């Protein structure tokens, strides 16, 4: 049996049509060697395992395994995985995130807002004002464009 390459854009359309009336959304979709398909979805409230299973069944029903051999994995975006789309930035507004810039500088702070070009982060650091005896906590707002960032991910802190 020959393996036909499954068309990625067709899969994206199928997934987005299926998800359009749900609170889930597509984060990423890859088609690897041998039609190894990985679909990653997210939800502002968290993805249920049943949602992944239902989407998997829906996609499998669209293909004939006799003519197209494939391996399908439907998963939720990992809690500590780097953000891949703008909507994930909106999901984590008000939460602490870690940002690594393309120049190699790491920041952690509170994600304040996001738009189509980038996002704003409030970082805290200690500075010693001139004449002061001890350092003071100072907040600074930083603006990042998505193209200047290697990754942004939710920062889990155990306090």
Assess if residue 148 is contained within a domain.
yes
For range 43-49, the mean pLDDT: 90
SS3 16: helix
Above 70 in pLDDT, residue 159? no
Pairing of strands 136-145, 96-101: unpaired
Distances in whole angstroms, Cα of residue 10 to Cα of each of 6, 17, 33, 147, 157: 8, 11, 17, 27, 40
Q: Both ends of the chain: CA-CA distance in Å?
A: 55
| CATH number of domain containing 68 | 3.30.300.70
Q: Domain range for residue 123?
A: 86-154
Q: In the predicted model, what is the mean pLDDT of residues 8-37?
A: 93
Residue where a domain stops, chosen among 31, 52, 76 = 76
For 48-113, give the secondary structure using H, E and C. CHHHHHHHHHHHHHCCCCCCCCCEEEEEECCCCCCCCCHHHHHHCCCCEEEEEECCCCEEEEEEEE
**Does residue 125 lie within any of the structural domains?**
yes
Output the pLDDT for position 136: 87
Q: What is the CATH number of the domain that holds 147?
A: 2.30.30.100
| Count of structural domains within the chain | 2
- 61 with 25, same domain: the answer is yes
78-124 confidence digits (pLDDT tens):
878 899 999 999 999 999 999 999 999 999 999 999 999 999 999 99
**What pLDDT score was predicted for residue 1?**
41
Other Cβ atoms less than 10 A from the Cβ of 47: the count is: 21
């Amino acid at each position: 049996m020959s393996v036909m390459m499954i068309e990625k854009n067709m899969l994206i359309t199928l997934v987005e049509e299926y998800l359009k009336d749900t609170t889930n959304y597509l984060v990423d979709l890859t088609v690897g060697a041998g039609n190894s398909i990985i679909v990653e979805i997210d939800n502002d409230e968290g993805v249920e395992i049943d949602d992944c299973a239902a989407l998997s069944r829906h996609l499998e029903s669209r293909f004939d395994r006799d003519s197209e051999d494939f391996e399908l994995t439907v998963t939720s975006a990992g809690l500590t995985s780097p953000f891949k789309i703008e909507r994930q930035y909106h999901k984590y507004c008000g939460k602490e995130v870690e940002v690594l810039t393309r120049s190699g500088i790491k920041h952690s702070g509170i994600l304040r807002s996001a738009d189509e070009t980038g996002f704003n982060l409030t970082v805290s650091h200690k500075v010693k004002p001139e004449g002061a005896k001890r350092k003071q906590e100072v907040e600074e707002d930083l603006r990042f464009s998505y193209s200047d960032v290697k990754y942004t991910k939710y920062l889990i802190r155990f306090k």
